[in-house]
Amino acid sequence: MSTDLFEPVGQGPDEVANRLLAATLGAQELLAIYAGDQLGWYASLVAHPGSTSAELAGRTSTDERYVREWLEHQAVAGYVTVDPDRRFSLTDGAREVLTDADSEFFLAPLGRLQAATGRVVDDLLDAYRTGGGVSWAHLGDDARTAQAALNRPFFLGPLVDDVLPAIPSLHTLLRGGGRLADIGCGMGWSSIAIARAYPEASVVGIDIDAPSIEAARLNAASEGVDVTFELADASSSGGAFDVVTFFECVHDMPDPVAVLAAARAMVRDDGYVMVADERTLEEFVAPAGPVERLFYGWSLGVCLPDGRATSPSVATGTVMRPSTLERYARAAGFVGIEVLPVELDLLRFYRLLISPEPDPR
């Protein structure tokens, strides 16, 4: 995904007004994308290009008048084309971005994530007033399935094809049959991908969200991959592991130090602990670019309220900078952190150092 999404923001009334109008268009499009995703309209257009509104409504058991308005909206927005006979088809780009769950460009789940946040907006405002929280469980299936679907192509592709092989000591541990704990595994795609790429390894996925663990078990079964999934609080988990991983979850934790301390206790002294989290700027800068704005938006709507749903909470939020993770890691018993040479737009990879002198990566 390109990070060159927007021009620098002007501060005059014209610039601010234009930006708010653009934001309104984006919000409207996300709502329409959510409808097309949930009601099967996109999937039906992929299977039957060149459809009329009546044909699409009939195939999806939806109302023709609303379908017609949606198709016309999608046409004026540029996601579909329309011929003189009023037959509609998805553009090639929209077909991949909105329907191809294996593509690195698959972004239709963003509509689900936005819908989940909008559904609890009154709860969010109450949390902002009181200092309370809105839990991941309260955000519901749209949030958990959206996050899983957005991360799935990366886990099944670049993570195991490019990232892990480029970290020699970790790659060697996994190829040698190491035992790995994937903490905060969600619906399991990171665990499944690693188990499939390293069949000699033993992979255990751990999460506190029951629906996510249930889905992870179903996903592993459908993929024919042997992974153990545990519904557990990682801070109370035991066992001896060669590798412990955290993918985009440390910033959500109300007590990350306790969980990282548990990871230190779980991993062997010659083992490997890796954290993948958002590639934030190293310090606060304002105004900032689109990636930082995206992180702050997710923090306001999802991650910070989720972290504060448990009390007490350190209230990290999505924008966890390297210095914050290092502070947590040292408090948990690690001697520091090392930023790994993995170049991605949205993620930064860290090794939490067990001994004073880091082993080769």
Q: Where are the domains of the chain?
A: 13-99, 114-353
pLDDT at 3: 42
**Nearest-angstrom CA–CA distance, 290 and 4:** 7
148 near 215, Cβ under 8 Å? Answer: yes
pLDDT at 233: 87
Low-confidence residues in the chain, pLDDT < 70: 1-9, 235-238, 357-361
Assess whether the region 13-99 and the region 114-353 belong to the same CATH fold: no
For 34, other C-beta atoms within 10 Å of its C-beta total: 22
Q: Tens of pLDDT along 38-80?
A: 999 999 999 999 999 999 999 999 999 999 999 999 999 999 9
Is 151 within 8 Å of 109 (Cβ atoms)?
Answer: no
13-99 topology per CATH: Arc Repressor Mutant, subunit A (1.10.10)
Convert 37-53 to b/e letters by CB count within 10 Å (16 or more is b): bebebbebbeeeeebbb
List CB contacts of 1: < 8 A, sequence separation 6 or more.
105, 107, 345, 346
220 and 226 Cβ atoms separated by less than 8 Å: yes
Please count the CA atoms within 13 angstroms of the CA of 310 that sit on its side-chain side. Answer: 14
Beta bridge partners of 277: 348
CA–CA distance, 214 with 178 (Å, rounded to integer): 25
Q: Which residue, chain included where needed, has tokens 């097309």?
A: 36
Helix axes 141-154, 210-223, angle to 10 degrees: 40
Count of beta carbons in the 10 Å neighbourhood of residue 176: 11
Q: How far apart are CA 53 and CA 200, in angstroms?
A: 52
Write the pLDDT tens digit of every residue in 280-307: 999 999 999 999 999 999 999 999 999 9
Contact 186, 148 (CB under 8 A): yes
Quote the pLDDT of residue 235. Answer: 65
CA distances from residue 224 to 165, 195, 199, 306, 323 in whole angstroms, order as listed: 23, 10, 12, 32, 40
Tokens encoding 349? 């990879």
Q: Tokens 């519901």 appear where? A: 140
Q: What angle do CA 342, 343, 347 make, to 5 degrees?
A: 85
Token look-up 């905060």 returns 184
- The DSSP bridge pattern shows strands 202-207 and 179-183 to be parallel
CA 288/CA 191 separation, integer angstroms: 34
pLDDT digits (tens, 9 = 90+) for 327-353: 999 999 999 999 999 999 999 999 999
Euclidean distance between CA atoms 123 and 255, whole angstroms: 22
According to CATH, what is the number of the domain 114-353?
3.40.50.150
| Burial letters 279-298, b for 16+ CB under 10 A, else e | bbeeeeeeeeeebbebbbeb
